[in-house]
Amino acid sequence: MGKVIEKLRLTNVFEPKKTAEVEAVIDTGATMLVLPLALVRRLGLKKRSEVTVRYANGATDVRPVYGVVQTEIKGRVGDFDVLAEADGAQPLVGQIVLEQLDLVVDPKKRKVLPNPQSPDLPMVEVLALTWARA
């Protein structure tokens, strides 16, 4: 497929004047939004928790999770926690972000696009309906 890179606009939800624009690798095999620690600090994000991370080479490590950052890609916006990696790490967008913003990857064009089935607004899948719709 080749590497897919997209521009992101990041904004601290609690301090909206703290923003950044970065280019990030789109990785459908990853889970979360990943940013280098220096950028997390520049945005003024607060540590929320820690998680165990499994890398592509099979190694594991405990990494901090920070939040909350508003993330805009292709005009779609959502609020996400961020996995912080070492300074110099490439920003990365994982599947949670793509799913919530209803974005799809076009491997031939190496681009991220709004889902063609919902070009105007993100669509949310509800797999089980347990209540009557009002």
Per-residue pLDDT of 75-92, as tens digits, reads: 999 999 999 999 999 999
Output the pLDDT for position 83.
97
Judged against a pLDDT cut of 70, whether residue 131 lies above it is answered with: no
Count of domains for the chain: 1
CATH of the domain at 45: 2.40.70.10
Q: Which range of residues forms the domain containing residue 105?
A: 5-114
pLDDT, tens digit (0-9, with 9 covering 90-100), for 111-126? 999 988 888 888 877 7
- Preceding peptide of 68 cis, ω within 30°: yes
Asked whether residue 105 is assigned to any structural domain, the reply reads yes
Nearest-angstrom CA–CA distance, 11 and 18: 6
pLDDT, tens digit (0-9, with 9 covering 90-100), for 15-49? 999 999 999 999 988 999 999 999 999 999 999 99
Asked whether residue 126 is assigned to any structural domain, the reply reads no
pLDDT band of residue 95 (cuts 50, 70, 90) is very high
The answer for residues whose C-beta is within 8 angstroms of residue 130's C-beta and 6 or more apart is: none
